[in-house]
Amino acid sequence: MLREWKPIRSECIQHFRIFDLMRETYISPRTGDQYPFYILQTMDWVNIIPLTSDHHVVMIRQFRAGIRSFTLEIPGGLVDSSDGSPLKAARREMCEETGYDSDEIFSLGMAHPNPAFMNNRCYTFFARNVCRIGEQKLDIGEDIDVCLIPLEKISELIQNGEITHSLVLNAFQWFMNSECRKKVPGE
Amino acid sequence: MLREWKPIRSECIQHFRIFDLMRETYISPRTGDQYPFYILQTMDWVNIIPLTSDHHVVMIRQFRAGIRSFTLEIPGGLVDSSDGSPLKAARREMCEETGYDSDEIFSLGMAHPNPAFMNNRCYTFFARNVCRIGEQKLDIGEDIDVCLIPLEKISELIQNGEITHSLVLNAFQWFMNSECRKKVPGE
């Protein structure tokens, strides 16, 4: 039986560039005690698998300060208030981070990055027949290498631990299981 | 060509119960500017898929303050300094959160929950032939319902959006693709 946690108060401890740190206090239905949860309130996220007509995934390598190392990922980022929708945000991030674009974009799924202490969602998309349309437009905190990875190599890169970002793993999981596979000509 | 981000300074802004909030400043190799990244430094995480001998996954429903709602997940939590290993932490969390145990535990994989702003890893395990050995031992911030879900229902629960935690999705992805499937008698 799922019992309600009664909210007592919600306080913003500090604002940061990409999240607000909140302390939200509830009464535990099991013990009756007040208990403070620390929550990161942030915008929704998006990521997107861009696939060329010859079955290469347009991936990015970049420095990730969290792990002080370089990663292999797909494009993605925050949904800005000006984007209008997660799909438009994903397309914008794909264009900015890789210089590739397509208007054939399909939804793959949604995940909660961490419902225990983050309020946001990550929406994942697939872009078919992407083409290079111009230069990258990078933010000040970005330095991104674009690399074209054959689609058939992705499973190996996951098994080898070259792709480790949980939300990128989610994206490929959905893609491999989805109807979108059938939309890739010649697959 | 991947260029080094030169670290300038690392400051702890605030300590919290489960993470330290850090500001780490680097020089961008692309622009030469100083750029501060905000990082959550925390312990590694674990999660585990407990499977009974009759092919039910021992799952948990609980309130998640991040999304102010209830979720369906597998057991998991932080690796404590006293655990000794991620495997032991996963087994401890399984016992505490569900009251089920097994000594047949296999590694499924590792993910970075978010390498952009978190330093930690999540290690995922599979426990075979779990049995109920006693009562739950819950933390003050927990109120957990245990539910036995037939293994063959999991894909449907993922597709329906009943299972949305990114790290739980990773766990089932690895399990479905792994050799561990072959260790489930009668599957």
pTM of the prediction? 0.95
Asked whether the beta carbons of residue A2 and residue B70 sit closer than 8 angstroms, the reply is yes
**pLDDT at residue number B186:** 60
Q: Report the alpha-carbon distance of residue A107 to residue A68 in Å, rounded.
A: 31
Burial, B102: exposed, middle or buried (Cβ in 10 Å; 0-12, 13-18, 19+)? Answer: buried
SS3 A88: helix
**pLDDT at residue number B187:** 55
Q: Which of the four pLDDT bands, split at 50, 70 and 90, describes residue B183? A: low
Q: Which of A4, A154, A169, A180 to mutate to test the interface with B (most CBs of B within 10 A)?
A: A169
* Helix or strand run (H / E) with residue A154: helix A154-159
Out of B24, B66, B115, name the one closest to residue A117 (CB): B66
> Could you read off the pLDDT of B75-94 as tens digits, one per residue?
999 999 999 999 999 999 99
Looking at the predicted structure, is the pLDDT value of residue B2 above 90? no
Q: Would you mind telling me the total number of residues written for chain A in this entry?
A: 187
The structure tokens listed for B45 are: 């995480």
Size of interface A-B (CB pairs under 8 A): 164
Out of A35, A39, A143, name the one closest to residue B28 (CB): A143
Looking at the predicted structure, is the pLDDT value of residue B74 above 80? yes
Q: Which of the four pLDDT bands, split at 50, 70 and 90, describes residue B45? A: very high
Domains of chain B: 6-42 (no CATH), 45-182 (3.90.79.10)
> Could you read off the pLDDT of B117-155 as tens digits, one per residue?
999 999 999 999 999 999 999 998 999 999 999 999 999
Q: Which of the four pLDDT bands, split at 50, 70 and 90, describes residue B16? A: confident
* Helix or strand run (H / E) with residue A95: helix A86-98
Q: Report the alpha-carbon distance of residue B86 to residue B80 in Å, rounded.
A: 9
Looking at the predicted structure, is the pLDDT value of residue B44 above 70? yes
Neighbours of A85 (CB within 10 A): 11
Out of B4, B64, B143, name the one closest to residue A115 (CB): B64
Mean pLDDT of chain B: 94
Within 8 A by CB and 6+ apart from A118, the residues are A39, A40, A42, A112, B66
Within 8 A by CB and 6+ apart from B180, the residues are B106, B108, B126, B128
User: What angle in degrees, to the nearest 10, is found between the helix axes of B166-177 and A166-177?
Assistant: 50
Strands A122-128 and A104-111: antiparallel
Q: Which residues of chain A have pLDDT under 70?
A: 180, 182-187
Q: How far is A103 from chain B (nearest CA, A)?
A: 25
Q: Report the alpha-carbon distance of residue A72 to residue B6 in Å, rounded.
A: 20
**pLDDT at residue number B137:** 96
* Helix or strand run (H / E) with residue A87: helix A86-98
Q: Which of B35, B64, B154 to mutate to test the interface with A (most CBs of A within 10 A)?
A: B64
**Cβ neighbours of B63 in A, within 8 Å:** 2, 4-5, 26
CB A17 within 8 A of CB A42: no
How far, in whole angstroms, is CA B21 from its chain's centroid?
A: 20
φ and ψ of A119, to 5 deg: -90, -5
Asked whether the beta carbons of residue A111 and residue B165 sit closer than 8 angstroms, the reply is yes
Give the residue among A18, A138, A137, A37 at the shortest CA–CA distance from A79.
Answer: A18
The better pLDDT of the pair B185, A171 is held by A171
